[in-house]
Amino acid sequence: MTTPTIEWTGETDGHLRLLDQTKLPTETVVLDCETVDDVWWAIKKLSVRGAPAIGIAAAYGVVLAASDSHESIKQACDHLATSRPTAVNLFWALDRMRRVADEARDSERAERLLAEARAIHAEDAEQCAAMGRYGADLFEQTLAKGSGILTHCNTGALATGGDGTALAVLFELHRRGFAPKVYADETRPLLQGGRLTMWELMQRGVNATLICDSMSAQVMREGRVAAAIVGADRIAANGDAANKIGTYGVALHCRAHGLPFYVAAPSTTFDLSLSSGDGIPIEQRAAEEITQPGGVAVAPEGAEVYNPAFDVTPSELIAGIITERGVISPVNQQTVAALIG
């Protein structure tokens, strides 16, 4: 992409620049975040989104408080942690920044915090590349060349510090000449699949078709796809995976049609403190996202709304979890522990 998703400008006196994803695909708008609260709002309103990207943005957000007192830096971490509850990468990145702040001397704290944020960013890019390779190797072994592959939400460069998680696999297959035919769910209610995933796939020249969320079962029934691959925002110790709302339905459709359902996520997305997905906090979003998409009323005023941002797919529905360390398959507590724990 010509405009980076996340970019730190300058040195310790610099600031964070974000590609505002709420404006895509019709506008390319860059947000200059100069305060911790600017970053908090960018995460909260989804200007930056995707579990790895949220963690990276939050890490840089801490750097904006680096010239303040040690106590102010801790307060900045605590504040950023309240922006969104489900993506575990957010808390993982903030824990790393807290440790650096605790260990560093006052004279070196700002430089060390910026170096740590840059390291988190660079490590995620490397993880994306590794997931792409492992996933492409897997699909080349199990799927026919040119197979249809369904994906949900956005898991590409817009959601990470590199090429993505699930989309990194598809991009790598495309680079290798495997020529996947990608079907992208629109991903209601905020249409990340239609607005963002299709934008990324078309920029890369990947053969892609946009479908409504409600069409996935029919597309599978017609034999148009051979597998599905999605990302994740938090994965429990037993392999249960939380991802954008609608993912669980895709997994059930795959099971009904005898198709493999894969998750791609870095090791930083695993939360081994949770024994199962039952303990994953699910963010509740504003009713207006459903009743007034894009500011246009599509429901009666005062309509009662239930708007969870994520659902949890049980591990028994997941054929494999593609990580930067390899593929977890079958998916259970033992196999997760062997590779991640």
Distance CA 212, CA 218 (A): 11
The 10 Å Cβ neighbour count of residue 90 is 27
Cβ-proximal residues to 256 (8 Å cutoff; 6+ apart), any chain: 217, 220
Give yes or no: 32 in active site.
no
What amino acid is encoded at 286 in this protein? A
Alpha carbon of 238 to those of 33, 52, 246, 334: distances in Å? 37, 21, 21, 8
Beta-sheet strands, E only, within the chain: 6-9, 15-19, 30-33, 148-151, 181-185, 208-211, 227-230, 234-236, 241-244, 261-264, 270-271, 310-313, 320-323, 326-328
Query: Tokens in use for 169?
Result: 């696999």
From 124, 163, 185, 233, the catalytic residue: 233
**What is the β-pairing status of strands 15-19 and 6-9?**
antiparallel
Cβ-proximal residues to 144 (8 Å cutoff; 6+ apart), any chain: 226
- ∠ CA 215-221-226, nearest 5°, is 95
Please report, in range form, the residues annotated as the binding site for substrate: 49-51, 84, 192, 243-244
Angle between helices 109-142 and 70-80 (to 10 degrees): 30
Preceding peptide of 180 cis, ω within 30°: no
Contact 100, 108 (CB under 8 A): no
- Angular region, 179: left φ>0, alpha ψ -120 to 50, beta rest: left
Distance CA 148, CA 322 (A): 18
Please report, in range form, the residues annotated as the binding site: 49-51, 84, 192, 243-244
Distance CA 60, CA 116 (A): 9
Catalytic residues: 233
